[in-house]
Amino acid sequence: PRAAVAMADRVRVRREAPAEIHRSGVLTGGFDLNDVEFEVTERKFFEEDGSGLLVVEIRNADAAVVNALRRIMIAEIPTLAADVVGIMANSSVIADEILAHRIGLVPFNIDPLTVRRTKRFHFDLYKRCTEVGVDDKIMSSDLKWVEDVDCEDGYKPTIRPAPLHDNILLAKLIPGQEVLLRAQLRKGEGKDHAKFSPVATASYRLMPHVEVDQEKAAPFASEIKAACPRDVFDIEDSGKLIATNPRNCTMCRECIRPDGWNEIITLERDPSHYIFSIESVGVIPPEEIFRRALSKLKLKCIDLNREVRELLKGEN
């Protein structure tokens, strides 16, 4: 490879705390993003809109690169959200600022790549409770797109703009109460406000490695298996204790806490192998969030490389 990535040995996890952590993540021989490997290992769908969980394994990478991806997903992938809410009437028990905040957190089905940063979208909401003895609910589905205003500049959407989910409760009304407002949406990023973030969570952890000393494990096999809350271990028909699901390990150390068990079970983490989890709110599928974060990271590296070259050229 162009730049071989030589990572330090695995981090040993002992009963008291991780050991030899000063050696983890040390790179020698250079580092090249082209050496990083990605593999999708899990995909769960929560809704028909494409929201869900994506788990990606990242190999031959440093924590700085993986954490940069995480921060870009959270703070630099743009979406649209309500930024200004003009409330003309609100006789409900919810204060104006709380209602505006709740509307700001509602996701919309507008792909940010299809609109300019200066584009604004407007949604009206009017609800009045008139029936005696009935509590009326204001849902996200009550936000109606103001087409006449938003299409004056020639904008023609392929999908009618609307809240991504119709069942988000915004407020409750009793007879005689009403709410009248207009919300204005704009394009923004998570670093401006968390409501613009396309992910619910984006996190990573080091790949666990679990090794069993078969000779010493025989007398304690059933006890060690029962002690693990994550079903990492299993016992074969021969009575042999094996780690069948090492990826499930959270390093709770229950399998090495009793006296003598730390000589039977070896817990380690690989500092160059990461399990990356992305949970989307649904506006952008997690696969697309990952791709856009990679593209943005690549552009950042290109910009940094250009600035460093210009700086060195100036010194010469």
Please write the tens of the pLDDT for every residue from 234-254: 999 988 999 999 999 999 999
* pTM of the predicted structure, to 2 decimals: 0.85
Q: Is the pLDDT of residue 29 over 50?
A: no
The per-residue pLDDT for 16 is 80
Average pLDDT over residues 174-193: 95
Q: Is the pLDDT of residue 1 over 50?
A: no
The per-residue pLDDT for 153 is 81
Average pLDDT over residues 209-231: 93
Go through 12-46 and write b for each residue having 16 or more CB atoms within 10 A of its CB, e for each that does not: bbeeeeeeeeeebbebeeebeeeebeeeeeeeeee
The per-residue pLDDT for 297 is 93
Position 2 confidence tier, pLDDT thresholds 50, 70, 90: very low
Position 6 confidence tier, pLDDT thresholds 50, 70, 90: very low
- Tokens 């952008």 correspond to 284
Exposure of 266 in the CB half-sphere (CA atoms within 13 A): 11
